[in-house]
Each structure stands twice: as structure tokens, then as C-alpha cells.
Amino acid sequence: MGAYADFHRRSIEDREAFWAEEAQRIHWHRPFDSVLDFRRPPFAKWFVGGEINLCFNAIDRHLAARGDQPALVYISSETDTQRSYSYRELHREVNVMAAVIAAQGVGRGDRVLLYMPMIPEAVFAMLACARLGAIHSVVFGGFAAASCASRIDDAKPKLLVTADAGLRGGRAIHYKPLVDEALRLAQHPPQKVLIVDRGIDTTMQRIPGRDVDYATEAEKHAGAQVPVVWLEASEPSYILYTSGTTGKPKGVQRDTGGYAVALASSMQHLYAGKPGETMFTTSDVGWVVGHSYIVYGPLIHGMTTILYEGLPIRPDAGIWWKIVQEHKVTVMFSSPTAARVLKKQDPAWLKKYDLSSLRHLFLAGEPLDEPTHRWLHDAIGKPVIDHYWQTETGWPILSLAPGIEPATVKYGSPGFPVYGYDLKLLREADASEAAAGEKGVLTIAPPLPPGCMSTVWGDDGRFVSTYFRTFPKLQLYSTFDWGVRDADGYTFILGRTDDVINVAGHRIGTREIEEAVQAHPNIAEVAVVGVADAVKGQMPLAFAVVKDASTLQDTAGIERTEREVMAAVDRNLGAIARPRRVLFVTLLPKTRSGKLLRRSLQALAEGRDPGDLTTIEDPAALEQISNVLRT
């Protein structure tokens, strides 16, 4: 048996001793009394009684040894700027931000909603909340006002931190009007809005008494030293909303101690990074990958982290590789969509820069197709490691572990169960274990390892009923992903079991898109499915029934209505969820009991066989769908 297999086995069979050792990688203000409290399954509490602070572990702890080492390097190809902060400078910035946030009345356990572009202040604000024991909830900057409002109402933040604008492909996206609209829509708007003014939106309006200017406040608090607030290990560090089957996003609640241990451990064993080296993760702070591997993971591990604002192909398709060369990046983390975008560019870009510092390139967030995996591996001449995880878990579920054993990559597979995860691949019909080569539902036997979600924010019942009810008799966590294991133990992910789709690595519930489409006054009914897309992996496609068909009498009317529906999605959810097409029909395919036949719809849209149709209410519906798809 290989070194990794042994390592994994020990993590399951000797769970507490294993994690007690891993927990030594971080600083505890007060040692924990017990490793695991699993008296109330499926809820797991890790490192009970231990006192810890994420900000201290990410910054203060390194000051003595690495005060002058770069901690955060901000590179924006949008504004053509680069700014580097040493650990000492980051410490100073975060203290000022913490003082400013505290002055708005924020303390331990209070929520702070961040709606931020990829600028250093976003990282300062996250770390400042951690310092104060406040709970941040970062909302991805691509979400619309209404999405932001529903997250505000769930998290009930005391403060919202934003900027005047974000930039994408040279275009400014004004955040402030969006935030104003979100606060207008929200039932529980925060009292204060802290604004980082980048000077991009010169017309920005401020609401006196509510809006606070960051630069002005920072000046008042220059040189502030804010003591860290020590939290008990299971107190929440953050909430991050993610999509599921219903239209209402779930607030994934993360603990503090377990998360710090899981991240520190993964930096060593999975990402094989070394303190003092540089990690470059191309995600966004609004997603879980940004939380774990732009902000907390690399800093806890004493690495330099790169915060990149911009596209992978601007000013040219060599920009990321130039960053790797200039900053001697050893660990890089990106997404399959980015890889597919780069694959379409001139291959010369990949040869232009010296990538010799790079040890591994990790990809995650969506399925990595075998041809892209192979191409990238050949193009950069370094192991490309596909690894699989979820917002809920906070760190990888399936991966190779080059920190323990050299990586033997199998194209198209994210590898083996990560240590700490007791994975089971079960047959859907009877929950028995699937054989090699047989498709099953990927589940995790609790306790979930450290770092994974502790509950749904404010709704323990929803945590249990959502994640632990796929196989009613067994209390197993469902990933809602299909998987298959080959004879060598490599797992391949075959897509979601539920109605969640993955657009360019952005996880979106089709139900949420349907609700956004229905905001258009002329839509009676709609079905949204994900269809395969060569670059983005999947794209939403909408089939809609209108109330007043007279608007669809000519091509101009159809096109206008389609545009309006797309605009409704942009406005209510965000442009990332905009359907590729909106196709109008008079009937949607349903079962006799009224259930939408989504799988059949999706199959037809992808040119596949629609499957079993014995339960369909009216076969004419499918005929109509086939016809619109043909035209």
C-alpha cells in the first residue's frame, strides 16, 4: 500500500490522533480540550475549547520571522497596477481596517457583508473581520442587487463594505448604485455602508449618515493597533452563500478552528507549498476558492499570495505565465474554464515565459475534460492536478497529495479521497456500494472533517434535511454529484444529481434562474436547464411560456421578449446566470403529477435521447421542444 493510502487510512481509523497532530500546524491561544465532539450527529464540533483567531494565524504569527516578506501582491491588469504588501504592511493595513470597522459598531459575532472587487481592501476587510471575531459574508461582485438583498436579509449584517466600482475587460461596473438598490430592497438593511473609493465612478452618490468613506476613516485611525479577539474553535468565521435546488441560497457557515487546521494541513500535504514561496490562485474573493486559497490558506502557511484583478487574456494570453515567472510562483490554482479559454489562444504564449518555478497547477470548480487536461499538462510541462470540492467543504474532497506522495495524474480524474474524508460511492437505488466502473452518488460518512461547513446559517434543520436525506436510512452527507471509480481507485465526477449547473465554474441553481426569468411580467412558466458549452462547461437555456402570446407575433417581437427576459435575469440574479437563449413554447413537458421533466429537456437540448417518457402528460410538449431546438 502506498504512503498516501496509509495516510488516508490513519485519518479515518485514528481520526482524533490524526487531527490532533495536524492541529499543531497553527497557533492556539488556548489549547483545545478535546479533538472532536460528535454527540449530536451529523453536527461535528472540532477542537472543542480551543481558542484561536484566523487573522492572528494569517498575519501576526509570521511577523517575527517574515515581517519583510511579501504577504499580498496585488496585480491588476485592469488598472495596470501592482502593489506589494509585506507581512508587516499587511498587519498595519488590517489593523486600520479593523479599527474602522469596529468604529461602525461591529464586534464579535456581528455580520459584515462584503460586496467588493478584487482589490487589496477586500482582503484587508476579510482579515479585519476575522481579527474582530466578526463574521464576514462576501457576496460575489457579479451578483445583482436582488441577490445581494436576499443575502442581506438572511445574514442581517451591521455593516456593508463595498467600493465605487469593479473593472472587467476594461469596462467599469458601478457597485455603489447596485448596493443602494440592494439596501432599498432589503428588509434588514445595515445601518452603515463603508465605501472604498477607487476614483473610478466619479459620479458616485453618497447618502449622508449612512455612507462612510474608507480613506477618511482610515486617516483617523492611522497607526491603530486592534487586539485580536480569541474565538472558541467552533465559533463561526464566515458565511458564504451557495446555490442548491431551491431558489433560496444557503448560508454555508464555517467554523474557525477546524477551518484553520484544514487549510494549514492542505497547504502542506495537497498543494505542497512551502512557507516563503508564492501561490497564485486565479479565482475571486467572492467564491470559496478565493476564501481558502487566495486569502486564508497561503497566509496561514506563510506564503506570498497573489491577488489578480483582470482576465486571463488581457493585455494578452501570456499575462498569467508572466506573473508566474516574475513572482516565482510555485503553486498555481485555476479553473477548467480558464484553461479552455487559454487553449484557444496562440500556444506561443505558453512558451514565452520561464515556468520553471512552478511545481503544480491545480484546477477545480467544474469538470475538467480529458483533452483540456492533457493539453495543459503538455503545454506547461508540469503536473496539472484536477481536484474536486465544494463551497460546503471549504477544502478538497478528491485530490492527489503531492506533499505526501509524487502525483500520478490520470487525465479526467480528480484522484483519490482526501484524508479526513470517509467517502462512499453508493448506488442510487438501494444505497449499496457501487462496484468499480459503476456510477454512484458520492457521499461522505460523518463526521465531516475539520474545515467543512458546520451548519446552514440560522437553520440547523435545513442543514440536516438538505444534505443528509439522500439515503433516508443512512445519515450520510450527499455531495449531489455522481461519480465513478476505476479499478485503480481513481474517481471521476460525472455531474450533479440535482438541478445545480456550473457556468464557467460559477455554481448556479436552475431554480434561481427560473425565478429571475419569472420576474418578467409576461412569463407564465419557465424551465431552465444547463446545456454543454465548449468553453464554459455549461450554459443555462430557458424554455418559457408567455401569458400574452400577442407579443410573439413576429420575429422582432420574439427577439424583443427574449432580450427583456435576459435583462430580467441580469437584474434579478446577475449576468453570470443569463441564459444563452430563451426559447418560447406553449407547453412544458411534465409528468402526469405535474413534475417538470428536466432531464428529458436537457437531453433534448444536448441532442441526446430524452429517456423514459412513460410518465409524460402530453407528448406534444416534447415535440414542440424538439421543433424550437431545430429552428
- The residues of the shown chain that bind ligand PRX, judged by CB under 6 A, are 242, 288-289, 364-368, 386-391, 414, 479, 481, 493, 496, 502, 507
Short-list 485, 503, 502, 483, CA closest to 493: 483
- Nearest distance, CB of residue 109 and ligand PRX, angstroms: 25
Residue number, 493 or 539, with CB nearest to ligand PRX: 493
Whose grid coordinates read 492542505?
266
Residue 596 has what DSSP assignment? Answer: B
The strand pair at 159-163 and 192-196 is best described as parallel
CA torsion 316→320→323→329, rounded to 10°?
A: -160
Is-contact 59 90, C-beta < 8 A? Answer: yes
Alpha carbons 3 and 407: distance in angstroms, whole number: 12
Residue number, 92 or 507, with CB nearest to ligand PRX: 507
Short-list 355, 399, 345, 397, CA closest to 375: 345
- Nearest distance, CB of residue 167 and ligand PRX, angstroms: 23
Residue number, 147 or 502, with CB nearest to ligand PRX: 502
Inter-CA distances, 75 with 96, 298, 447, Å: 22, 17, 40
Residue number, 302 or 509, with CB nearest to ligand PRX: 509
Half-sphere exposure of 78 (CA within 13 A, CB side): 20
- Nearest distance, CB of residue 238 and ligand PRX, angstroms: 14
Residue number, 265 or 478, with CB nearest to ligand PRX: 478
Q: Is 442 left (phi over 0), alpha (psi -120 to 50) or beta?
A: beta
- Nearest distance, CB of residue 229 and ligand PRX, angstroms: 29
Residue 376 buriedness (CB in 10 A; 0-12 / 13-18 / 19+): buried
- Nearest distance, CB of residue 5 and ligand PRX, angstroms: 21
Residue number, 236 or 367, with CB nearest to ligand PRX: 367
Instruction: Give CA angle at 250 (244, 254), nearest 5°.
Output: 120
Instruction: Give CA angle at 10 (9, 16), nearest 5°.
Output: 130
Cell triple for residue 413?
A: 480524474
- Nearest distance, CB of residue 35 and ligand PRX, angstroms: 26
Residue number, 323 or 503, with CB nearest to ligand PRX: 503
Residue number, 289 or 546, with CB nearest to ligand PRX: 289
Helix (H) or strand (E) holding 491: strand 491-496
Residue number, 115 or 389, with CB nearest to ligand PRX: 389
Peptide bond into 42 cis (omega under 30): yes
Alpha carbons 430 and 524: distance in angstroms, whole number: 38
- For residue 325, give every residue at least 6 positions away whose Cβ sits within 8 Å of its Cβ, in sequence order, or none: 353, 354, 355, 357
Residue number, 95 or 393, with CB nearest to ligand PRX: 393
Cell triple for residue 191?
A: 445601518
- Nearest distance, CB of residue 197 and ligand PRX, angstroms: 31
* Position closest to ligand PRX via CB: 391
Residue number, 198 or 250, with CB nearest to ligand PRX: 250
Q: Which residues pair with 561 in a beta bridge?
A: none
Is-contact 621 543, C-beta < 8 A? Answer: no
- Nearest distance, CB of residue 498 and ligand PRX, angstroms: 9
- Nearest distance, CB of residue 478 and ligand PRX, angstroms: 10
- For residue 566, give every residue at least 6 positions away whose Cβ sits within 8 Å of its Cβ, in sequence order, or none: 578, 579, 582
- Nearest distance, CB of residue 294 and ligand PRX, angstroms: 12
Residue number, 507 or 578, with CB nearest to ligand PRX: 507
- Nearest distance, CB of residue 12 and ligand PRX, angstroms: 22
- Nearest distance, CB of residue 622 and ligand PRX, angstroms: 27
Instruction: Give CA angle at 360 (355, 363), nearest 5°.
Output: 115
Alpha carbons 406 and 422: distance in angstroms, whole number: 22
- Nearest distance, CB of residue 493 and ligand PRX, angstroms: 4
- Nearest distance, CB of residue 507 and ligand PRX, angstroms: 4
The alpha helices in 395-470, defined as continuous H runs, are: 460-467
Inter-CA distances, 515 with 544, 577, 601, Å: 12, 12, 18
The strand pair at 304-309 and 70-76 is best described as parallel
Alpha carbons 494 and 484: distance in angstroms, whole number: 7
Residue number, 76 or 283, with CB nearest to ligand PRX: 283
- Nearest distance, CB of residue 363 and ligand PRX, angstroms: 7
Residue number, 367 or 449, with CB nearest to ligand PRX: 367
Residue number, 242 or 256, with CB nearest to ligand PRX: 242
What type of residue is 62? H
Alpha carbons 268 and 273: distance in angstroms, whole number: 6
Residue 303 has what DSSP assignment? Answer: -
Short-list 544, 568, 405, 421, CA closest to 483: 421
